[in-house]
Structure 1
């Protein structure tokens, strides 16, 4: 066990020596000096530059690129409607090119059938409560205040 302890201490000493002797291109002598300089800059009144944001133009260029499948610089009618055709094809189970009400409402009908446990054709209040759509909520940050360290004098 003591060999591991000596090895860890030796490794830390070597890493510390390298950090102290390391010269960066900016002329500071160690990363510690750079960190200290960065900390003083953050605390000063100098405002950090704003991070880059996507402009409305770049967002629109990306959206255009997603629609322009053949990359000819133009969005044809077929390219524009491709996503709708794909969704329609998923719903058109029998492939006749027409959506019946049953095909259109298949998910809702399945949800009703799953909720109707007694197969009565109607939902009572308890069965109806199971049809509530579960929305994924954003996780809330739960910050707890840091505990104050106990002074050795107080114990």
Structure 2
């Protein structure tokens, strides 16, 4: 019984192998018969304008001037990273990531009260120039985040 299964399996695999060879040969003959042109046909001579033809056509229509974006539009566009006209929560919070990383001293992506208090205390102490324990209006103004300098284009 085991020998007959072995023989049947051998005959079936030989038939499959020979069928695959015939199919492969048939496809290779079809591919050899197909003609693929190497280059497009020659379009012929290029027409040349006559002596009395105008040098160029009419001027293109005037394009409308681009309007300057308002302050709010520029601010919105800063947050709308994927330019789909909608600000997602991820886009809104992405600008806060760098500030969070500075506060997270141990780098575990969790901000403890101690980490926050230490950073706030250092910032307060740096702003309290007269060491009075309170911030005057001028001292408080120094705690605002510094704006990044905008490079002028030298186009």
Instruction: State the TM bucket, normalised to the shorter chain.
Output: 0.3 to 0.5
User: Which structure has the greater CA radius of gyration?
Assistant: 2
**TM-score scaled by structure 1?**
0.34
TM-score w.r.t. length of structure 2: 0.34
